[in-house]
Structure 1
Amino acid sequence: MNAPKITSWLDALNAFELANKPHVIATVIRAESPSSAKPGDKAVITPEGDIFGWIGGGCAQPVVTKAVADVLTDGNPLIVRISPSTGDTVTGNGVREVRMACHSGGSIELLLEPRMRRRTALLVGETPVADKLEIVAPILSIPLVRFGDGSDPNGSFEIAIVATQGKKDKAGLKKALQYAVGRIYFIASGKKAEILKKQLTDDGLSESDVDRICAPAGLEIHAETADEIAVSILAGIMKDNREKLRELARTTTGQVA
Structure 2
Amino acid sequence: MTNPELLTRADVLRHGRTPFVLATVVHAERPTSAKPGDSALVLPDGTVEGFVGGTCAETTVQLQGLRVLRTGESLLLRITPVTPGADTGTESTENTESPENARRTVEGLVTVANPCLSGGTLDIFLEANLPAALAYVYGHAPIARALLDVGRTAGLDARAATPGEPLPPDLDVVVIATHGRAEESVLVEAARAGIPYIGLVASPKRGAAVLAGLDLTEEQRARVHTPAGLDIGARTPGEIALSVYAEIVALRPDRVRGVRPGAGTGAPRAVTEDVDPVCGMTVAITPDTLCLDRAGTRVYFCGPGCRHAFADNLSRYDHA
- Fold match (TM-score > 0.5): yes
1:168 is aligned to 2:210:
no
Query: Aligned pair 1:107/2:121, yes or no?
Result: yes
Deviation at 1:127, TM superposition (A): 5.5
Q: Which runs of 5+ in 2 are unaligned?
A: 94-105, 275-320
Deviation of residue 182 (structure 1)? 4.5
Identity among equivalent pairs (%): 26
5 Å-filtered alignment, 1:38-49, equals: 38-49=35-46
- Alpha-carbon offset, residue 68 of structure 1: 1.5
Does structure 1 residue 33 correspond to structure 2 residue 30?
yes
Q: Which has the higher helix share?
A: 1
Pairwise mapping of residues 18-167 of structure 1 onto structure 2 (< 5 A)? 18-84=15-81, 88-91=90-93, 92-102=106-116, 104-126=118-140, 129-146=143-160, 156-157=167-168, 158=171, 159-164=173-178, 167=179
Residues 243 and 24 from structure 1, CA distance in 2 versus in 1: closer, same or farther, beyond 3 angstroms?
closer
SS in 1 for 2:128: strand
> 1:175 deviation in Å?
3.7
Q: 2: CA distance between counterparts of 1:48 and 1:233?
A: 33
Report how far residue 81 of structure 1 moved. 0.6
CA contact (8 A) 2:131 2:258 kept: no
Following superposition, the deviation at residue 58 of structure 1 comes to 1.4
Q: How does 1:6-21 map to 2 (within 5 A)?
A: 8-21=5-18
Maintained 8 Å contact 1:9/1:43: yes
Rounded Cα–Cα distance in structure 2 between residues aligned with 1:18 and 1:211: 33
Which residue matches 1:252?
Answer: 271
Q: 2:225 aligns with which of 196, 212, 215?
A: 215
**What amino acid sits opposite 1:89 in the alignment?**
E
1:4 corresponds in structure 2 to none
Q: TM-score, normalised by structure 1?
A: 0.73
Task: Give 3-state SS (helix, strand or coil) of 1:230's partner.
Answer: helix
Please state how far the C-alpha of 1:140 moved relative to its aligned partner.
3.8
Q: Distance between the aligned counterparts of 2:190 and 2:269, measured in 1?
A: 29
Matched to 2:180, the amino acid is K
CA contact (8 A) 1:186 1:213 kept: no
3-state SS of the aligned residue for 1:79?
A: strand
Q: Deviations over 1:94-144 (max 9, x none)?
A: 111111221521110011111113343220235554333211222344222
3-state SS of 2:118 partner: coil
Of structures 1 and 2, the larger Rg is shown by 2
TM-score (norm: length of structure 2): 0.61
How many residues align? The count is: 238
5 Å-filtered alignment, 1:185-196, equals 185-187=199-201, 195-196=209-210
Root-mean-square deviation (Å): 3.7
Q: Distance in 2 between matches of 1:46 and 1:54?
A: 14
